[in-house]
Chains A and B, each alone.
Chain A
Amino acid sequence: MREVAVVATALHQVPALTDTTEVQLMVPLLNAAREAVGLTQADIGFTCSGSSDFLAGQAFSFVQTLDAVGAFPPISESHVEMDGAFALYEAWVKLQIGEVDTALVFSYGKSSPGSLRDVLALQLDPYFLAPLWPPAEAIAALQARLLLEVGIVGAEELAEIAVRSQRNAVGNPNAVRSSREVTVADLMAEAPIADPLRPSDLAAESDGGCAVVLAAGDRARELCDRPAWIRGIDHRIDAHGLGTRDLTLAPSAALAASLACTAAGLEVDSLDLAELHSPTTSQEAILVRAFGLGGSTEVNPSGGALAGNTLMAAGLMRIAEAAGRIIDGRADRALAHATSGPCLQQNLVCVMAGD
């Protein structure tokens, strides 16, 4: 595989962007990512973005956001109706072909204008499930309940995951939920909103965007003192039907991580950190087991998606958070994860290293 690295990142995440359009959100982020490595759009070989019309409430919503890129003269460009992490995968593939050396990847989401729990119901089987409008937290609670009943996880562990996320998020300007003081006992005392999930078990909803610059080989070395080299990247999907899979497992996540680590030639226990896109604490518990994380690997040093889960951008933000720590020298080896669909149906894993 051709050597490709993350060389610049920019992200912004807040509880709600009430007075800002997606274009206004992305202009400064795209500029910041490009300017960090001294590039203009004319220097970018390929551009790829991820977003959802169902969040924007508009068909072809990404067409407007093209204005934020500065797409004239015309650019080589593509868009996925997926989290930006998958846009990054498409850009990584494009760089593998060897005809371009740089790529710009971005994604964004504004869920605050609508009701995310209802919007996500429309992701489900349109004939048998979506007409029932099951709220997203109820679907996740089925999975969490199963974890508890089978005895894989205890309720206290879920609260511990929530506490760790909130503590790690302190000092992260893009976290929308953080606390230095909150305790497991505090969270265990919260009333469940979808038993057994309590408010702190659910990721904090947020609006935001993320931009990443990728570069290949020597171009990456020119642009960045310490590129975050993508040593392995893979994504997989499980069956959609909740009744057709064992919800206590995430086989597609485990497979993607295994393939990414193999490609990277890295053992999981050599990772300094893992940034996980877990929409609930219970899903983080599943991911930690699926990836075999433990020991010295720090999980979600940024607070992770629990501290701010911007739909369509949270996965790319995980890559940006992990890559940023390699670029600035705080970490050598990192895993970043993105998910999509109900109960961790689709998963992407990106393993990066500074050397």
Chain B
Amino acid sequence: MAKQHTAVLGVGQTKYQSTRGDVSMAGLVREAALRALVDAGLEWADVDAVVIGKAPDFFEGVMMPELYLADALGCVGKPILRVHTAGSVGGSTALVAASLIQGGIHRRVLTLGFEKQSESNATWALSLPQPFSVSINAGAGGYFSPIIRQYMARSGAPELIGCMVAFKDRQHALRNPYAHLHQHDLTFDQVVEAPMLWDPIRYSETCPSSDGACAMVLGDEAAGDAASGPVAWVHGTAMRSEANNFPGRDEVSPQASRDCAADVFRQAGISDPRAEIDVVEMYVPFSWYEPMWLESIGFAERDAGWRMVEEGATNLDGGDLPVNCSGGVLSSNPIGASGMIRFAEAALQVRGMAGDHQVDGARRALGHAYGGGAQYFAMWVVGADKP
């Protein structure tokens, strides 16, 4: 059986916020799943299988929580898979779900990513002492700041490019009702004057810590054709991983990132990404990663990604390649869901259902996620037209 066409039939998101104390983990995932089913015009019984993803189990303190969540996700008697690929997990989870359709195993698959960080303490979870290794307790910001410095040095980017990204994404978030951060009165000067956390990363240039869930219902060609509303067709899917630590590794633009982008664009028949992609949802947990990924993915030449930021090319208003119209990870970060939100927002854009942050006439979009020490990459291209 040849590779089957796959469509995004429905998307469901919760409001992202610091603490969803009003619901259990089961309540949180069910809220997103139900919204995705309603959007798809389907019932629980229409779902053949569930693929769920989240970041480390220590973030809630529950081992393999999908076992407990099986009831809430309506999958008693059905198959459920649990994916975990570090920060890219939300994207990888969507891709595993897509593979179940592409491989002809199932017709309709519910996929969901979530994190309920308020249930535990992420800093504790990331700082457990280990035998055989020294913990630097640096957190993600401490890990990535030297890499960002390396990018700034080699590209000659002006110091405030990161602040421009952060300000843009927070402005975008005001147009997304689900975004965690709604900073209505934020000024660019406030972004610049925020405390420096991990030089060169300011507090204002980091992502928040959020509770939330994002779900999608994927379907096969017949399900996509039968949908009453617009669907997003999957034009390409790719995952790549590489080792963390070896001499000569390009940490600014890892080869796994470049290979993953090349693969997904090849599948989608895209030779000039800047011209052929209308909107991007990119995993940017620290502001500087927008110009870095613009280059690595192939939207800009090496060392020129920051110019796109400076020129406003990635802005929803007036940019030719709007990036993170939803506000991105910088405005909402339920870690295990963050990648799936990128994939789902890309789908919403090509379905014309992104509301106040819709890019007019978006026909093809890239969803992107990364994780680990910039080692794990997941990407998909979705389009309004069947490939």
A interface, CB within 8 angstroms of B:
1-2, 21, 47, 52-54, 57-60, 62-63, 66-67, 70-82, 86, 89-90, 93-94, 96-99, 113, 119-120, 122-127, 130, 234-241, 244, 251-252, 255, 340-342, 345-346
Contacts and interface: CB of A to CB of B under 8 A. Distances in A.
A120 B232 CA distance: 40
Interface string B49-78: 000000111111111111111110001111
A75 B244 contact: no
A74 B255 contact: yes
24 contacts: A53-B56, A54-B64, A57-B130, A58-B128, A59-B125, A59-B128, A63-B372, A63-B375, A71-B243, A78-B83, A78-B96, A81-B66, A93-B96, A94-B99, A123-B67, A123-B68, A126-B25, A236-B77, A237-B67, A237-B78, A345-B67, A346-B67, A346-B70, A346-B80
A41 to B, nearest CB: 11
B82 interface: yes
Interface of B: 1-3, 24-25, 55-71, 75-86, 92, 95-96, 99-100, 102-105, 119, 125-126, 128, 130-132, 238-246, 249, 254-256, 259-260, 372-373, 375-376
Contacts of A1: 1, 104
Contact of B62 (A77, A93, A130): A130
A96 to B, nearest CB: 3
Given A66-B375, A236-B78, A237-B78, A126 B128 contact: no
A59 B126 contact: yes
Nearest to B87: A60
A231 to B, nearest CB: 15
B66 to A, nearest CB: 8
B interface: dominant SS: loop
Contacts of A126: 25, 60-62, 65, 68, 119
B241 A96 contact: no
A81 B62 CA distance: 12
Contact of A67 (B104, B130, B244): B244
A237 B69 CA distance: 11
A60 B83 CA distance: 12
Nearest to B377: A74
Contacts, number: 184
Given A90-B99, A237-B80, 16 more contacts: A54-B58, A63-B86, A66-B242, A71-B375, A72-B246, A76-B238, A76-B239, A78-B95, A78-B239, A80-B83, A81-B82, A82-B81, A130-B62, A237-B79, A340-B64, A340-B67
B243 A66 contact: yes
Contacts of A72: 242-243, 246, 249, 255
A345 B77 CA distance: 10
Given A82-B81, A94-B103, A251-B77, A77 B240 contact: yes
A74 B256 contact: yes
A39 to B, nearest CB: 18
Contact of A63 (B67, B131, B238, B244): B244
A78 B376 CA distance: 9
B84 A62 contact: yes
